[in-house]
Amino acid sequence: MVLLCILRERMYKHRIIECVVNDSSDYDYIYDSAVQNTLDEYFRWADTQDGTVSFEKSWGEPSYSLCLQVDAKFEDKDTYALFKLVYGNKPFNKLDTHTLEFTHA
């Protein structure tokens, strides 16, 4: 059991999307579509890499507003470093409702 905890801590994580979103269920389809559209390029890139890349969607700490967060998780540091070189280090923080993609503000 201890070994699993140690291995879990060694994963490298990079925030791709961190955006305040509306808490209405009417927007769920829009957010899910925007996440898929935004991550499409990242999915293609991950398929071409030797290392394992996984994507995790979560919600920020409870507050007055809801914050959507999407992280890329890497098992090895080389794939993580290459990802940061290719895509940079700023998370997307604005939803473009016309293209249904997350962008930088």
Question: Domains in the chain and their CATH numbers?
Answer: 11-103 (3.30.70)
Confidence at residue 10, expressed as pLDDT on a 0 to 100 scale: 64
Q: How confident is the model at residue 27 (pLDDT cuts 50, 70, 90)?
A: confident
Predicted confidence (pLDDT) at residue 5 exceeds the cutoff of 60: no
Tell me the whole-structure pTM to 2 decimals: 0.84
Separation CA 58–CA 9 (nearest Å): 18
- How is residue 26 annotated by DSSP? G
- Convert the pLDDT of each residue in 40-58 to its tens digit: 999 999 999 988 899 999 9
Report residue 37: phi and psi, to 5°.
Answer: -65, -40
